[in-house]
Chains A and B, each alone.
Chain A
Amino acid sequence: MSDMPLTRAERKRQRRIRRFDNPWLNPKLFWGAGLLLAIIAVGILGRLFWDPELVFVGSGIPKMPPPGFENLRGQSGTFANPLGTEGSGRDMLALIIIGAPNSLYVGLMASLIGMSVGIFLGFTSGFVGGRTDDVIRVLSDVMITIPPLLILVVFQSAFGDVTLTMMALLIAGFVWQSPTRLIRAQVLSMKQSGYVQMARLSGASTWHIMFKEMLPNLVPYLFGSFIANVTTSIVTAVGLEVLGLGPQRIPTLGRTIYEAINAGALIQNLWWWWGIPTLLLAVMFIGLLLINLGLDEVSNPRLRKLKL
């Protein structure tokens, strides 16, 4: 079989089969991950090739446009600030280099914590059952009905200036309940499946069954849920920042938009001030959406397209 050289058509078919066999090689997943990695790359490479100190107030002349454009006062942009400056003289490029990974960081961090809590509680609730289940279920049901932004606005106003990690922790407090509910449901149905019963009969510990037997089967599903949570967390974080409640001195995309709106950037036609962070947030959300769609296809084979 192997000594016969394959025709082109055969090779192509084999590739297709291979791709079909490995659901992780999904174009949506690739593109989504690519967009997010590009943002992270901008953050890393930017720090190497651009001065991150320019991100602070008063680093340059305020309201300078990108090169090739003029602002209302007739000043044309220079390559000292390739993406222009905002109203307090911060360099827009530096803002993006520092700010975009920051927004992503808050999302990932909050989601990671939220997911971990969710996985733990979901498994415990579904597997242990009884009183524990009642408590966890009621708690997560109650939390689902509470609008997080409302509570977070109050929290953040009370805390004043918060750090990124603090903000992530606060948001994490509102993204654990959905994974808890969903994982609990999955665990309940899985509990009845043959291999779990088998493991139980062979005397495996609860811990072993939960995390060694059942968890691997939930991985694609967990990933999907994780990415959805990252999106929710970033939306929440940006929402808070646009209200002016995020960290003060640490640049984030949301805060940049808040300051632009507050300082009347729209009427002054300072499009680079509000436009660039908005664009970047859009790219970030599209990336997350693509990953989410891709993961959906990974965990649900019926969604996979047959490209013949």
Chain B
Amino acid sequence: MRLTKLVATASLMALTAMTGAQAQDVAREDTVIFDLDRTIKDPSNFNWLTPGTKRMHGAHQTMWEPLFILNYATGNIDPWLATGFEANDTSTEFTISLREGIEWSDGEAFNADDVVFTVNLALTNEEISSREASTVRAQVASIEKLDDLTVKMTLNAPNPRFIVENFGVRIFGSFLIMPEHIWNGEDPATFAFNPPIGTGPYTFTSATTNRAIWDRNDDWWGAKTGFMDLPEPQHVIFLESGGAESRAQLMATNQMDAAQNVSVGTFEAIRAQNPAVTAWYSDYPYAAADPCARQLEINTTIAPWDDPAMRRAVNHIIDRTQIVNIATEGATVPSRTMFAQYGSMDPFINAVVDAGFELAPTADVAAGQALIEAAGYAKGSDGIYEKDGEDLSVKIHVNSASTEYTRTIDMIVEQLNRAGVAASSVPVENGVFWGEVLPFGSYEMSYSWLSCGSVNEPWASMGRYTVKDVVPVGERSPGFNNTSRWDGPAAAAYSEIVDSMAALPLGDKSIPGKVADAYQHLAAEMPFIPLVQSFKLLPMNTTYWTGWPTADNNYNHPFFWWNSTHQIIHNLEKAN
């Protein structure tokens, strides 16, 4: 314990020395410190339309505001920079009304010109690659300004989910509006946008590779117009903590106010040292459900996993309950279908379950082995199946960035080996995993959450596995869609049903039936194997700040690296 304290004191001193230079004039109790789980590779670049850590280090939590925020608690789309929207009957035209009196932090007015300018930026520049910009480019045909506070967008195809998908912070980010008076004439692929400005209540102060500092703008438009009070924190810091151990030390010693995901054991250890630390639930399992359910990705082009029966065999062998108990320490639940188990998804989950496609919470190894044997394999003397003298083996690529990932795959590797499949894991660095392994299909199996998307309707997730996104191995899958490269008659039949759902308005009575209809192909072919629901155990410190989102104070989810964090910061109150 003495060693632990020593480490804590040392890191505390280092931290004080680090932040001291900038933050001398702002007291700790006026500062809120968030955890950043990655390095800011290019701290002087704020062009969010290009790849890199350019938003989640505080930029889209404090400085850039979204038009709407999807409220996970109520299912409503809360207006923010916009006041509302209207769609035509066929969901091909959307009219967005903007709030009056919004100003950029340099005093210029925010209006329809900025929205039209930024959307046109995405429409006319093929080379800008952020997911949000690509989605807008794919969906929007044209945009026009009706008056200073109203814009109208015309879509290429009907899309009833257009607003929440692109402007509503459904998952992580939203399409952010940039100031026309600064971006005009710049090349959006190379412009660094430094110093950055936004409409948010904070302005950029400084950033290095491991932290970014934001200061309150007391002249914020929202307070002047009565939209909202000024948030209480004068100073917001996003600090890279680097790993569970140092994250825990920073929380235990009140050097951090909100930390990224930790394991149940680590959280309990933090709370034993610092009772002021809370999480979504005050009791076990503490964690909040994340919309990206975990799954085993399979490359359906590589033998023997190109055989649906072999993929179903793996599904039988996997024991989801054991994954929950061992890899997540009971913090989550087994997945019943591919969907995130939110109340808003119940109609679709129930439709799948009623049709008999529910995933088993435990393993049926015998059934799995029967399928493998039916494919012509026989068990060798070492207990591993073989055919024509070759062992049945599989390499599973896993992102080494989190113990959640590696422990889950260790568990699956174990289950497969016990059943007679010589599985092994291949840990890969975060950047390589997302940059080279997943999008190009250079894996046999992998651990990820690429069917993520649906929160209150089924299409966003199901639409990611249609045949139109199939590309050969070695080419980049568009938007990480259908990285399984699932093709063939069943995939085509599936795609046809899913495509017919795309244009239906939210809440249409025929959707659950279509979901079940399409799901039969997923269940038969298993292009990916849903594993467990995702959980995020985010320790939050009430020593300096209260008002954190919890199950009892559920104004929205607690994911403070999302664009919706504006709500969290506005809800924070000084502890004393």
Contacts and interface: CB of A to CB of B under 8 A. Distances in A.
Contacts of A263: 244, 263, 265-266, 403, 407
B263 A264 contact: yes
Contact of B326 (A62, A262, A267, A270): A62
Interface string A40-63: 000000000000000011100011
A266 B417 CA distance: 31
B245 to A, nearest CB: 5
A268 B268 contact: yes
A160 interface: yes
B480 to A, nearest CB: 23
A62 B245 CA distance: 18
A261 interface: yes
Interface of B: 1, 3-4, 7, 243-245, 248-249, 252, 262-263, 265-266, 268-270, 272-273, 322, 325-327, 329, 395, 400, 403, 406-407, 410-411, 413-415, 417-418, 424-427
A160 B426 contact: yes
Given A262-B403, A264-B244, 19 more contacts: A58-B414, A62-B329, A87-B263, A88-B407, A88-B410, A160-B395, A161-B395, A161-B424, A161-B425, A248-B410, A249-B413, A249-B414, A249-B425, A264-B245, A264-B266, A267-B269, A267-B273, A268-B268, A268-B269
B326 A63 contact: no
Contacts of B4: 266-267
A73 B426 CA distance: 32
B277 to A, nearest CB: 12
Nearest to B400: A244
B98 to A, nearest CB: 46
Nearest to A71: B265
17 contacts: A58-B325, A58-B414, A58-B415, A87-B265, A161-B425, A161-B426, A244-B427, A248-B424, A249-B424, A249-B425, A263-B244, A264-B248, A264-B262, A267-B244, A267-B252, A268-B266, A269-B269
Contacts of A161: 395, 424-426
Given A62-B329, A63-B265, A72-B268, A269 B1 contact: yes
Nearest to A58: B326
Given A244-B400, A268-B265, A57 B395 contact: no
A126 interface: no
A156 to B, nearest CB: 11
A32 interface: no
Contacts of B418: 56
- Interface secondary structure of B, over-half rule: helix
B244 A262 contact: yes
A195 B231 CA distance: 92
The 3 closest A-B pairs by CB, nearest first: A264-B244, A268-B269, A57-B414
A72 B265 contact: yes
Given A88-B327, A161-B425, A267 B249 contact: yes
Contact of A261 (B7, B245, B415): B245
Interface of A: 56-58, 62-63, 72-73, 87-89, 160-161, 244, 248-249, 261-264, 266-270
A215 to B, nearest CB: 40
Contacts of A72: 265, 268-269, 272
Contacts of A269: 1, 269
A292 B388 CA distance: 50
B265 A88 contact: no
Contacts of B417: 249
Chain A CB within 10 Å, residue with most, of B262, B407, B415:
B407
Contacts of B406: 262
A261 B272 CA distance: 19
A87 B243 CA distance: 16
B445 to A, nearest CB: 14
Contacts of A268: 265-266, 268-269
Contacts of B249: 267
Contacts of A57: 326, 407, 410-411, 413-414
B405 to A, nearest CB: 11
Contacts of B1: 269
A261 B243 CA distance: 10
Contacts of A249: 410, 413-414, 417, 424-425
B244 A56 contact: no
B363 to A, nearest CB: 11
B414 A56 contact: yes
Contacts of B427: 160, 244, 248
A169 B144 CA distance: 67
Contacts of B415: 58
Contacts of B272: 72
Nearest to A89: B326
A191 to B, nearest CB: 50
Contacts of A266: 3-4, 7, 245
A269 B406 CA distance: 22
B403 to A, nearest CB: 5
A73 B7 CA distance: 23
Contacts of B403: 87, 262-263
Nearest to B402: A262
A279 to B, nearest CB: 16
Given A87-B407, A266-B245, A73 B268 contact: yes
A96 to B, nearest CB: 19
A269 B266 CA distance: 10
A270 to B, nearest CB: 8
Contacts of A56: 414, 418
Given A248-B413, A249-B413, A267 B248 contact: yes
Contacts of B248: 264, 267
A54 to B, nearest CB: 12
Nearest to B414: A57
B507 to A, nearest CB: 42
B324 to A, nearest CB: 11
A108 to B, nearest CB: 24
Contacts of B325: 58
Contact of A88 (B244, B411, B426): B411
A28 B425 CA distance: 43
B407 A264 contact: no
A262 B407 CA distance: 11
A249 B416 CA distance: 12
A153 to B, nearest CB: 12
A264 B265 contact: yes
B100 to A, nearest CB: 49
B500 to A, nearest CB: 43
Contacts of A63: 265
A267 B245 contact: yes
A264 B406 CA distance: 14
B37 to A, nearest CB: 14
Chain B CB within 10 Å, residue with most, of A263, A264, A266:
A264
Given A58-B326, A161-B426, A262-B403, A267 B411 contact: no
A56 B268 CA distance: 25
Contacts of B424: 160-161, 248-249
B266 A267 contact: yes
Contacts of B425: 161, 248-249
A263 B403 CA distance: 6
B448 to A, nearest CB: 18
Nearest to A245: B427
A261 B540 CA distance: 23
Contacts of B395: 160-161
A249 B427 CA distance: 12
Chain A CB within 10 Å, residue with most, of B3, B245, B273:
B245
Nearest to A262: B403
Contacts of A261: 245
A261 B270 CA distance: 16
Nearest to A61: B325
A254 to B, nearest CB: 15
A89 B426 CA distance: 21
A61 to B, nearest CB: 8
Contacts of B273: 267
